[in-house]
Structure 1
């Protein structure tokens, strides 16, 4: 083989390598583009992008907002609504709604505080709070499934009952919780993160797995999409709805423990408007009030977005009345967007 042939072989090899490199690069770009398009089409992409943009905007205009301790405060404020919203997402996905979560949270926290104030074990107080939430969820589900009441009416009634029982047990005043490890639920850190934030992550992870990877999750979507079609397809619609309400009650009970630990009292006035904030987080996160659509990732993004919005307004010294107006406008825009998207996909 002479020198010219060797040079041609080397040049051919170089061209082959260059061609393979270009082909691999093009394939990588195609894959990245496909992933990006799927991200944009996801129901939770809009609230997630909005959350990032909101954080950037507040960070640019407020020095107080971009401080590290402020993000820690957001990690303390967001988990309660986020945990409730996870349970609310399960019900909304199935075509229902729960308006009683705020009152049930107050009822559960008062029960726990009463026991702790009487000297009972914090373990018992925690268990009673969670079981109170589950029991109220079971009653709500039973009224809807067996009493055939609309979820709106059943949970509206529970809203009044739970709030009234909270006032009756507490005598209309806050019940002090003596110092114990119960306080640490909201004040301790694990891996530099507030424990309530980690609890919210675990609850969200459980909700995401349930909704996205289990038979129950598929049944929730089916029932929310069409109750009658799901029933004719063999889905145990009554059991599915009952479980959804109990799981929502479970999430509310967990949130009541975080709330009681954070304020160190059980107050009959706690949880006011929490149901609306949780529903707003779900809708902003892409859940449809018509049922059949919703994700836990979107709900958590919606809950964080609302927490950041409220915190940013505080950092800008915006009065509480104006904060409520801003949040109300955000909810209306989210619902209008949901209706527009629903009509577009029909």
Structure 2
């Protein structure tokens, strides 16, 4: 059955996405107000800066994950890529490699990992879940072998100082989100490549018949996801001052949760850049507030799971309504 796309349906989708984004912003503001009332420590400058730093890295992971999920795929390896990238950049800096060169090499390694995922999916016919799950476990092992299970200390002060400094009163790590999000928004929402990603996620065969190179778009989506994860690894290494293959454990689940809470459909073809950003900071705010209130960390997981269930349920309703 062919669904006719008319200006009315396009407008309806835009209105729905706009209202959903407003709802997320409203939820985030409500959380901040409630926590400001519940604990005076929340609204302090130091805590807000810490909150922005906490949410920034997951937000960038969520943007990369969004590209993949829009194609109806999944990337379970991003947390392992983060940890592996801390080892790569820390090792390079320890060997005296200039910081810009070390960062570029680390990003190139991330891109290569993403291309490996796409190769497994496109050429070998492996499900995205399997190939990225295999990489998740393998990268942890490779990183531990490279370091003999130890931690690489970063003694370069100029590298680690960047993560602690601010620009215009805003932490540098948050500015990295802005630097990533703006071109990501242009790519996904204002370029033909973004339209191709949505087409692949909606119906890959129809996209192919329309002249879209489906394999190429798969390579782009997974390449960007892993490269963003490598970038987060560089940020994490700068913040902690160490390289350790076990860093970023479980971050892939936080990235997926942020993406889903931000309105990206796990069925593909639906998603945005701004939604996962808001979703990541909603989760960061919940975690930050729970810590300040001395709430058991188990409740944070329960709340996150509850939010995911609600969002996916409404996504199902949206799909049934044809929006």
Normalised by the length of structure 1, the TM-score is 0.86
Match of 2:233 in 1: 256
1:66 matched to 2:43: yes
Structure with higher Rg: it is 1
Answer yes or no: is the 8 Å Cα contact 1:40–1:46 preserved in 2: no
Shift of 1:223: 0.5
Match of 2:21 in 1: 44
Shift of 1:125: 2.3
1:281 matched to 2:246: no
Mapped partners of 2:90, 2:18: distance in 1: 45
Of residues 293, 296, 300 in structure 1, which corresponds to 2:273?
296
Of residues 130, 135, 146 in structure 1, which corresponds to 2:107?
130
Offset from partner CA, 1:166-198 (integer Å, 9 cap, x none): 111111121111133111231121111111100
Match of 1:272 in 2: 249
For structure 1, the 5+ residue unaligned runs are: 1-33
Mapped partners of 1:91, 1:299: distance in 2: 13
Match of 1:243 in 2: 220
Q: Which range moves more in the overlay, 320-329 or 38-47?
A: 38-47
Match of 1:190 in 2: 167
Of residues 132, 139, 158 in structure 1, which corresponds to 2:116?
139
Mapped partners of 1:135, 1:39: distance in 2: 37
Match of 1:344 in 2: 321
Mapped partners of 1:293, 1:275: distance in 2: 20
Shift of 1:39: 7.3
Of residues 53, 77, 81 in structure 2, which corresponds to 1:104?
81
Shift of 1:40: 7.3
Match of 1:220 in 2: 197
Of residues 292, 297, 318 in structure 2, which corresponds to 1:320?
297
Shift of 1:234: 1.0
Offset from partner CA, 1:211-264 (integer Å, 9 cap, x none): 000111000011011111111111111101111111111111111111000110
Match of 2:4 in 1: none
Match of 1:88 in 2: 65
Distance of aligned partners of 1:242 and 1:308 in 2 relative to their CA distance in 1, 3 Å threshold: same
Number of residue pairs the alignment of both structures matches = 311
Please list every run of at least 4 consecutive aligned residues from structure 1 whose deviation after the TM superposition is greater than 6 angstroms.
none
Offset from partner CA, 1:104-159 (integer Å, 9 cap, x none): 11111111111222333222322222112111111011111111111111111111
Shift of 1:41: 4.7
Mapped partners of 2:32, 2:149: distance in 1: 39
Match of 1:162 in 2: 139
Match of 2:6 in 1: none
Mapped partners of 2:272, 2:22: distance in 1: 11
Q: Which range moves more in the overlay, 170-179 or 281-290?
A: 170-179
Mapped partners of 1:125, 1:265: distance in 2: 14
Q: Which range moves more in the overlay, 110-119 or 275-284?
A: 110-119
Mapped partners of 1:293, 1:40: distance in 2: 10
Answer yes or no: is the 8 Å Cα contact 2:93–2:156 preserved in 1: no
Normalised by the length of structure 2, the TM-score is 0.92
SS of 1:132's equivalent in the other structure is helix
Match of 2:126 in 1: 149
1:210 matched to 2:219: no
